[in-house]
Amino acid sequence: MYKLLPDLSIVEASSFVASPTAGLYCAQMGAEVIRVDHKEGGLDYDRYMLTREGRSLSWENLNRAKKSVALDLKSGEGRELLVALAASAGNLITNLPEASFLSHAAIAASRADLVSLRIMGWHDGRQAMDFTVNAASGYPLMTGPAQWDAANPPPVNQVLPAWDFITGAYSAFALLAGIRHRERTGEGAELRVPLGDVAIGTVANSGAMAEMLYRGGDRERLGNAIWGAFGRDFVTRDGKRFMVAALTPKQWDGLVAAFALAAPIAALEEEMGVRFADGDTPRFAHRERLFALFQEVAGRIDWAALEARLAANACTFERYRTMHEAANDPVLVADNPLFGPSPANPSGFAYPATRSFANIPGEPRGDPCPAPFLGEHTEEVLAEKLGLGAGQIASLVDRGVARLSDKDHR
């Protein structure tokens, strides 16, 4: 964890993926992120998959490097404490509805320069989550084998909740932009980031929306081929499946050399009246003929030999792995400085943990931070941020308004 944001305190009241991700990225850059949950755990506290001890591995990894406060958020007193904490910090990340006790106006009444970042579903207030937003985006009906029935193709949902993670990253950026604005002007900011807008806006930013309107219809399914360029999966003689991509002249020349296809490709160029070295367009237009040439070579060579040739020619490629294989891959994980020794995880399960994705050359990233136990920092935060004494905090705990720790787990 870097100390780039050491003086920044953020209160986070959130659940699931997008909102905790925004807080996580800020925490990994050194901000003090105080996650406030209901005393029994938020909606994502038991998010699958659970260890035998009942600990959520998802919750544990999305809340690393944060502090945890547990309050009775069903009670008026607990909600007032959360509002007071948000006002004290002056910075809030949440996905609670605006029409709730944690509205921007409710906090700004005592902290006019509040910067709040609220993740929503759709811009018009409708509920949404990653998998429903993705259904609306058009991507699931663009994915799948080219041979599927074009008149009635089934959708292919993505496994990764990508819109959630993109929204979380964008929200962290938006929050810091709001804080920078306050530093310049003294003004607070209310920022709302709808998950649905991130999805449809990304469709527009990628050029896909303009493309569909220009062509007057949908793009065809391409299976695992890369749209508009040369790239696809192939299978070696010993059954290893791998992906290659060639978007630049250097990448294309490297693939041709690695597969020893200069002569067959020259013959195909003469037949088609094109030069594949001229760019993406001829390679994409004649992709099926090219794919056949590359697969014929791949099918005659074992993976180890072909991998060596691909590497020697600086090709862009990767072998397909299961996620279990990826988690045990020395290059991806064990020898990757992104990962560090397992911290004291609440689950008690030891496994590689991530540091900040960004790195500063020459400066150590530090060891990964653990996730907190639910309520682990309740006493510390209430004392430091709100000035409550030990007796006052003890009273809150005795009355069930606050919880100190779930280390013994329920």
Q: Are 123 and 261 in the same domain? A: no
**Tokens, residue 6:** 């050491």
Question: pLDDT confidence of 409, banded at 50, 70, 90?
Answer: low
Contacts 24+ apart (CB under 8 A), 288-294: 290/230, 290/265, 291/225, 291/232, 291/234, 293/259, 293/261, 293/264, 293/265, 293/268, 294/232, 294/234, 294/244, 294/255, 294/259, 294/261
Q: Are 91 and 193 in the same domain? A: yes
Q: Cβ neighbours of residue 91 under 8 Å, at least 6 residues apart?
A: 8, 9, 10, 11, 114, 115, 116, 175, 179
Closest CA to 259 of 302, 298, 225: 298
Q: Are 137 and 248 in the same domain? A: no
Q: Model-level pTM?
A: 0.94
* Strand duo 115-120 + 91-94: pairing: parallel
Whether residue 370 lies inside any domain: the answer is yes
CA 337 from centroid of its chain's CA atoms: 19
Q: Are 376 and 304 in the same domain? A: no
Whether residue 16 lies inside any domain: the answer is yes
CA 273 from centroid of its chain's CA atoms: 44
What's the whole-number mean pLDDT along residues 329-344?
Answer: 94
**How many Cα atoms occupy the beta-carbon half-sphere of 225 within 13 Å?**
23
* Count of all residues that appear for the chain in the document: 410
Whether residue 245 lies inside any domain: the answer is yes
**Radius of gyration of the chain from its Cα atoms, rounded to whole angstroms:** 26
Whether residue 2 lies inside any domain: the answer is no
Question: pLDDT confidence of 275, banded at 50, 70, 90?
Answer: very high
Question: pLDDT confidence of 393, banded at 50, 70, 90?
Answer: very high
Q: Which of 266, 286, 319 is the last residue of a domain?
A: 319
Q: Are 151 and 242 in the same domain? A: no
**Segment 107-161, tens digit of pLDDT:** 999 999 999 999 999 999 999 999 999 999 999 999 988 888 767 889 999 999 9
Residue 365 pLDDT more than 80? yes
What's the whole-number mean pLDDT along residues 76-87?
Answer: 98
Q: Are 348 and 315 in the same domain? A: no
Q: Are 311 and 351 in the same domain? A: no
For this structure, is 406 an active site residue?
no
Q: Which of 319, 335, 370 is the last residue of a domain?
A: 319
Instruction: With H, G, I as helix, E, B as strand and everything else as coil, classify residue 18.
Output: helix
Rounded distance, CA 43 to CA 232, Å?
40
Residue 5 pLDDT more than 60? yes
Distances (CA, A) of 14 to 22, 62, 224, 237: 10, 11, 36, 50
Q: Are 108 and 37 in the same domain? A: yes
**Tokens, residue 94:** 């949440």
Instruction: With H, G, I as helix, E, B as strand and everything else as coil, classify residue 327.
Output: helix
Whether residue 196 lies inside any domain: the answer is yes
**Tokens, residue 201:** 């806006």
* Strand duo 353-354 + 339-340: pairing: antiparallel
**pLDDT at site 2:** 87
Q: Are 396 and 306 in the same domain? A: no
Longest dimension (CA), the chain: 87
* Strand duo 67-71 + 32-38: pairing: parallel
Q: Are 309 and 359 in the same domain? A: no
Q: Burial of 80 by CB count in 10 Å (0-12 exposed, 13-18 middle, 19+ buried)?
A: middle
Residue 305 pLDDT more than 90? yes
Q: Are 15 and 162 in the same domain? A: yes
Whether residue 390 lies inside any domain: the answer is yes
What pairs with residue 353 in β-bridges?
Answer: 340
Whether residue 255 lies inside any domain: the answer is yes
Range of the domain at 288: 230-319
Question: Contact, 49 vs 80, CB < 8 A?
Answer: no
Taking the alpha carbons at both ends of the chain, their separation in whole angstroms is 30
Q: Which helix (H) or strand (E) holds 115?
A: strand 115-120
Closest CA to 291 of 237, 224, 346, 344: 224
Rounded distance, CA 19 to CA 21, Å?
5
Q: In 20-57, which positions are buried (b, 16+ CB within 10 angstroms) versus exposed (e)?
A: bbbbbbbbbbbbbbbbbbbbebbebbebeeeeeeebbb
Number of separate domains in the chain: 2
Q: Cβ neighbours of residue 69 under 8 Å, at least 6 residues apart?
A: 34, 35, 36, 37, 85, 375, 377, 378, 381, 382, 402
Question: pLDDT confidence of 364, banded at 50, 70, 90?
Answer: confident
- Show the CA angle centred on residue 83, arms to residues 78 and 84, nearest 5°: 95
Residue 410 pLDDT more than 80? no
Q: Are 300 and 348 in the same domain? A: no
For the chain, give the mean pLDDT: 95
**pLDDT at site 152:** 80
Whether residue 324 lies inside any domain: the answer is no
Which candidate in 130, 164, 197, 406 is catalytic?
Answer: 164
User: CATH number for the domain including 117?
Assistant: 3.40.50.10540
Q: Cβ neighbours of residue 247 under 8 Å, at least 6 residues apart?
A: 226, 229, 230, 231, 280, 316
Of 41-55, 171-185, 189-203, least confident by mean pLDDT is: 41-55
Hey, how many other C-beta atoms are within 10 angstroms of the C-beta on 177?
14
**Segment 206-251, tens digit of pLDDT:** 999 999 999 999 988 999 999 999 999 999 999 999 999 999 999 9
Rounded distance, CA 294 to CA 234, Å?
8
